């Protein structure tokens, strides 16, 4: 697989929440780089250009490591470093404004504004009392860069207005990212609840069917023991015969329940898989016609669909899955895998079911893609 294909596969395999976060972060970083390039073209002098480039790098790094924009915490110590660099850049520019003259002072005014805006974009949205900090930066910049009350008022309005818009934009962006995270967790929880609900349904049916019979067996066994102790051997034997009949009947009911649970419909399983995967943000594409499979394989194919879908929900962050029905094989392929499924999972039971109908199960995991295949011999 070529490098561009690997990148595309990695991007498509990311969970929706992580992809939205990465898209937002990269967009802001590209905007910061574009601003640096624009400022460098506007002030083609070495010292201002170097300062702007450093500020641009600080902005890019801070956007990468801020808690609201990234899940990775190992680079969080860079945040204080970035804040110190922005503060030093603003302070150094302020000193030049107050002590320098001519072009150097004018360049320093612009650099003061740039440092203030950088802080508004990458620092203030993630701290408490952000609006008070924004007001303080606007006042300090106005005092340093203005020469009279009119110019100070103008600088104050520019810094507070543009900086306030940046802070508000970033606050809303971070809230959108958190909202997407909440939705992603809710979809995952819904998918797990559907699986759990199916198991609870079977457990409830098992309790209802078998519980009454077990209670009857316990009562009749106790009665038989009492009769035997009192010397009524024939009556005790009669009761034990009834216990045996109850046990046999309970086993028949249990087998009927299991057969009913196993007797699943292929079309319903495909529809259920599409609904379940859609709930976690995964698109299911069905290739081929399930109805054209041999009759003896329908139940096994339904189990492939059910167990394969369950494994996708549990062991991956898939965004796309392909279920293909062929003349000699059924395949279920998905992206976004976290590793091979546990061999003690439902795949072992699925392999046993496939063996009973003369088919073989195989799995393969390459890059971020997992393949489940059931293959059988054709006549």
The pLDDT confidence band at residue 231, using thresholds 50, 70 and 90, is confident
Most confident of the ranges 64-73, 155-164, 296-305, 357-366: 155-164
Distance CA 125, CA 134 (A): 10
Token pair 């898939």 in the structure block, residue: 318
Can you list the alpha helix ranges (DSSP code H) found in the chain?
3-13, 16-42, 46-65, 78-99, 102-122, 130-145, 149-229, 233-262, 266-279, 298-315, 346-356
- Residues in contact with 67: Cβ distance below 8 Å, sequence separation at least 6, in sequence order: 73, 76, 126
Average pLDDT of the segment spanning 313-333: 86
In this predicted structure, the answer to whether residue 236 has a pLDDT above a threshold of 90 is no
What are the DSSP calls for 133-196, one per residue? HHHHHHHHHHHHH-SSHHHHHHHHHHHHHHHHHHHHHHHHHHHHHHHHHHHHHHHHHHHHHHHH
Q: In 10 A of CB 117, how many CB atoms? A: 21
Mean pLDDT of the chain: 81
Q: What's the pLDDT band for 344 if we cut at 50, 70, 90?
A: very low
What tokens does 78 get?
């860079």
Greatest CA separation for the chain: 122
- CB neighbour class for 48 (10 Å; exposed up to 12, middle 13-18, buried from 19): buried
And the tokens for 27? 């967009």
* pLDDT band at residue 6 under the 50/70/90 scheme: low
User: Does 135 have pLDDT greater than 90?
Assistant: yes
pLDDT at residue 41 is higher than 80: no
- pLDDT of 132 reads 94
For residue 153, name the pLDDT band (cuts at 50, 70, 90): very high
pLDDT at residue number 13:
63
Sketch out the chain's domains with CATH numbers: 14-183 (no CATH), 264-379 (3.30.565.10)
Q: Of 88, 96, 90, nearest to 137 (Cα)?
A: 90
Can you tell me the mean pLDDT for 151-175? 90
For 97-123, how does the pLDDT look when each residue is reduced to its tens digit (9 = 90+)?
888 778 888 888 888 888 888 899 888
Phi, psi of 43 (to 5 degrees): -125, 75
Which of 280, 319, 320, 61 has the alpha carbon at shortest distance from 192? 280
How buried is residue 352: exposed, middle or buried, by Cβ count under 10 Å (0-12/13-18/19+)? exposed
| Distance, CA of 92 to CA of 108 (rounded, Å) | 8
């Amino acid at each position: 697989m070529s490098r561009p294909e690997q990148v595309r596969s990695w991007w498509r395999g990311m969970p929706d929440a992580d992809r939205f976060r990465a898209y937002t972060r990269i967009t802001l970083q590209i905007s910061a780089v574009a601003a640096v390039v624009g400022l460098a073209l506007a002030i083609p002098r070495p010292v201002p250009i170097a300062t702007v480039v450093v500020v641009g790098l600080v902005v890019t790094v801070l956007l990468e490591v801020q808690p609201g924009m990234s899940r990775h915490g190992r680079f969080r110590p860079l945040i204080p470093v970035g804040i110190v660099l922005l503060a030093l850049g603003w302070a150094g520019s302020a000193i030049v404004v107050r002590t320098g003259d001519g072009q150097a002072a004018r360049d320093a005014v612009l650099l003061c504004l740039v440092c203030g805006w950088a802080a508004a974009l990458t620092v203030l949205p993630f701290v408490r009392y952000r609006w008070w900090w924004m007001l303080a930066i606007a006042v300090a910049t106005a005092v340093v860069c203005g020469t009279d009350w009119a110019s100070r008022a103008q600088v104050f309005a520019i810094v507070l207005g543009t900086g306030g818009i940046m802070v508000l934009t970033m606050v809303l962006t971070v809230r959108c990212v958190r909202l997407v995270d909440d939705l992603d967790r809710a979809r995952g929880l819904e998918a797990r609840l559907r699986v759990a609900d199916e198991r609870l349904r079977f457990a409830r049916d098992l309790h209802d069917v078998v519980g009454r019979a077990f209670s009857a067996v316990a009562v009749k066994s106790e009665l038989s023991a009492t009769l035997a102790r009192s010397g009524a051997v024939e009556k005790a034997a009669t009761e034990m015969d009834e216990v045996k009949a109850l046990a046999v009947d309970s086993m028949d009911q249990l087998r009927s329940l299991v057969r009913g649970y196993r007797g699943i419909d292929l079309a319903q399983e495909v529809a259920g898989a599409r609904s379940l995967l859609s709930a976690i943000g995964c698109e299911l594409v069905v290739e081929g016609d399930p109805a054209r499979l041999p009759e003896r394989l329908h139940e096994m194919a339904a189990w492939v669909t059910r167990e394969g879908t369950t494994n996708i929900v549990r062991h991956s962050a898939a965004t796309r899955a392909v279920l293909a029905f062929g003349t000699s094989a059924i395949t279920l392929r998905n992206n976004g895998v976290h590793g091979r499924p546990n061999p003690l999972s439902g795949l072992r039971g699925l392999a046993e079911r496939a063996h009973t109908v003369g088919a073989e199960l195989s799995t393969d995991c390459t890059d971020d893609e997992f393949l489940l295949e059931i293959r059988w011999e054709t006549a």
